[in-house]
């Protein structure tokens, strides 16, 4: 901002552009996306950039967030979205993950991981423990506008009551065990007191890309911690 006010606008834009492509080349797409938003914000234009064949980053997640607001009937766009997943091997080394996306971009400083106090082969019960522990930190960790669970009705049933009582919206992503990048994007939305609505999203839609990115990241983070615990326990 100081550089901009001093009249160094062109140099600032060039520096941000270089950092943006450097981050993309290193595979840090979330940083590249944040820099991209700064870059085009300063240039005042609306366009798209393809950083690699594997990862397409839209100029902004505004459309996805507005779509989420509409489909869920939220009072405001969900600026802070948290994704949760459980990872284990037959009920051993059970871990939970929490990832955080601010305005559609991952904020890794806000990620949290959980070693489950009760080791069991029961994903809904494990998700309940993780979400319960998360809700104890609303004052110091912040309050999410939306929670996205890696799971379907079972996981949602386990935590729906405590999440809605906290005034937080929640949905699940039902992948039916498919954790590949080509998994369909079907979300499970609580409706009424006990009902759920299944919504199949087009993979090319903004909202599907955002949900998939959040869910894939929560899955990756949970598995990463599970593998770490498994290795540590094997050395004991």
pLDDT digits (tens, 9 = 90+) for 31-81: 887 887 777 777 664 444 444 434 444 434 678 888 999 999 999 999 999
- Please tell me the predicted confidence (pLDDT) of residue 144: 97
What's the pLDDT score for residue 41? 72
What per-residue confidence (pLDDT) applies to 51?
Answer: 43
Scanning the structure block, which residue is given the tokens 């980053």? 57
- Identify the pLDDT of residue 46: 44
Structural tokens at position 38: 């700064």
Write down the domain spans for the chain. 2-57, 62-234
In this prediction, the residues of the chain whose per-residue pLDDT falls under 70 are 1-9, 43-61, 177-181, 236
What integer pLDDT is reported at residue 112 of this predicted model? 95
User: What pLDDT does residue 178 have?
Assistant: 67
CA distance 231 to 88: 13
CATH code for the part of the protein at 62-234: 3.30.420.340
Q: Quote the radius of gyration of the chain (alpha carbons, Å).
A: 19
**Do 86 and 150 touch, CB atoms closer than 8 A?**
yes
Residue 124: its pLDDT value, please? 95
The model's pTM is: 0.74
Matching residue, tokens 């990756």:
220
Query: What's the pLDDT score for residue 24?
Result: 76
How many Cβ atoms from other residues are within 10 Å of residue 90's Cβ? 7
CB distance 116 to 143 below 8 Å = no
């Amino acid at each position: 901002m100081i550089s901009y006010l001093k009249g160094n606008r062109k140099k600032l834009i060039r520096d941000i552009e270089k950092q943006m492509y450097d981050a993309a080349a290193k595979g840090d797409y979330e940083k590249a996306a944040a820099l991209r938003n700064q870059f085009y914000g300063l240039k005042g234009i609306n366009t798209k950039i393809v950083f690699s064949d594997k990862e397409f980053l839209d100029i902004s997640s505004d459309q996805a967030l507005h779509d989420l607001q509409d489909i869920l009937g939220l009072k405001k766009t969900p600026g802070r979205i948290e994704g949760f997943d459980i990872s284990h091997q037959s009920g051993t080394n059970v871990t939970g993950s929490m990832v955080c996306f601010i305005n559609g971009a991952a904020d890794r400083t806000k990620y949290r991981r959980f070693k489950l106090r009760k080791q069991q082969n029961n994903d809904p019960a494990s998700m309940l423990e993780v979400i319960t522990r998360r809700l104890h930190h609303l004052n110091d960790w912040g309050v999410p506008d939306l929670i996205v669970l890696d799971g379907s009705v079972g996981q949602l049933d386990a935590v729906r009551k405590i999440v809605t009582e906290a005034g937080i919206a929640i949905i699940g992503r039902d992948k039916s065990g498919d954790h590949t990048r080509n998994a369909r994007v079907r979300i499970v939305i609580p409706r009424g007191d006990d009902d759920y609505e299944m919504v199949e999203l087009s993979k090319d839609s903004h909202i599907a890309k955002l949900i998939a990115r959040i869910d894939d990241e929560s899955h990756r983070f949970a598995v990463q911690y599970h593998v770490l615990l498994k290795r540590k326990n094997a050395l004991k």
